Amino acid sequence: MSEPLLVFFALAALAVIGAVSLILQKHPIHSALSLIVVMVALAGLFLLMGAEFVAAVQIIVYGGAIMVLFVFVIMLLNAGVEEHTSLSKMAGPPGLLLVAALAAFVAATIAKSGTGVQAAAQTGALSSTKGISEMVFKDFVYPFELTSFLILVAILGATVLAQREKS
Amino acid sequence: MVPTNYYIILSAILFGLGVFAFIFKRNIITIFMSIELMLNAVNLAFVAFSQALGKLDGQVFVLFVIVVAAAEAVVGLGIIILIARNRQTLNVERVDLLKL
């Protein structure tokens, strides 16, 4: 087994364990920490694929900013252990069945059409950061500018939502 | 080189786990985190296809997905704070104002 394959399996196992732990943990803060494990493992996979810029953004924005926001809100709201009623426990088996069906459908689709993707040339050595910057500021410049507007609207929305109403 | 299929299968597994967490969990914050897990799974598929096809479009899309996820997290957590303030609970079963 080659070295990239070993690294892939280690990181993939880490990601899947983190995702399962997110489901099994009862306390939201433990779930949040599990999700951080998943995100760091995925950043490692991005590095393995030669997407170093996306890996850095993944760690800084996802692992850093977004998850810190989640942990902050969990602490702010003093969230405790989640409670399950008998009815919500029943959602487990049908949900598992649904997910198994979804995964099987995706796997079948990949098995049918995977050869086309396999056949394409795998060039791991394209200078991705420079290429991404050129694409973002040339081909995708209007969507890029729109995202800044989106973030502005999100900031305004969050400020309006979270402020205390005047008494 | 790792085959692209492996990445796509891992992405499908992570997405499935995210869907299951979305269905099974009862804490509104954890449900929100499972949405982030699904977005991450899709990002993995994007980068895998980007690498397989030798084009960078997928990685640019991942950046846009991350930006939208950040905006969504900000607004969603604001709504969660409002719900917690008005209903004094984070359990989605107790948030049943629209139920008959």
Q: Is the pLDDT of residue A119 over 70?
A: no
- Of A58 and A128, which is predicted with more confidence? A58
Q: Which residues of B touch A63 (CB under 8 A)?
A: none
Check A31 against B19: CB less than 8 A apart: no
Q: Which residues of B touch A76 (CB under 8 A)?
A: 81
Report phi then psi at A49, rounded to 5: -85, 0
Q: Please give the CATH topology (third level) of the domain spanning A1-82.
A: Four Helix Bundle (Hemerythrin (Met), subunit A) (1.20.120)
Q: What is the pLDDT of residues A46-58, one digit of tens each?
A: 988 888 888 999 9
The DSSP H or E segment spanning A46 is helix A28-48
Mutate to test the interface with A, among B8, B51, B82 (most CBs of A within 10 A): B51
**The two three-digit tokens of residue B16, written as one number:** 């499935």
Does B24 reach chain A within 8 Å, measured CB to CB?
yes
pTM of the model: 0.87
Q: What is the ipTM of this complex?
A: 0.90
Mutate to test the interface with B, among A106, A115, A146, A163 (most CBs of B within 10 A): A106
Q: What is the pLDDT of residues B10-64, one digit of tens each?
A: 888 888 889 888 888 888 889 999 999 999 999 998 988 888 888 888 888 999 9
Q: What is the pLDDT of residues A72-109, one digit of tens each?
A: 888 888 777 767 666 666 777 887 888 888 888 877 77
Domains of chain B: residue spans and CATH: 4-87 (1.10.287.3510)
* Minimal Cβ distance to A91: which of B1, B24, B77: B24
Q: How far, in Å, are A59, A61, B1, B93, B94 from residue B8 at the CA level?
A: 21, 23, 14, 34, 37
Q: Is the pLDDT of residue A128 over 80?
A: no
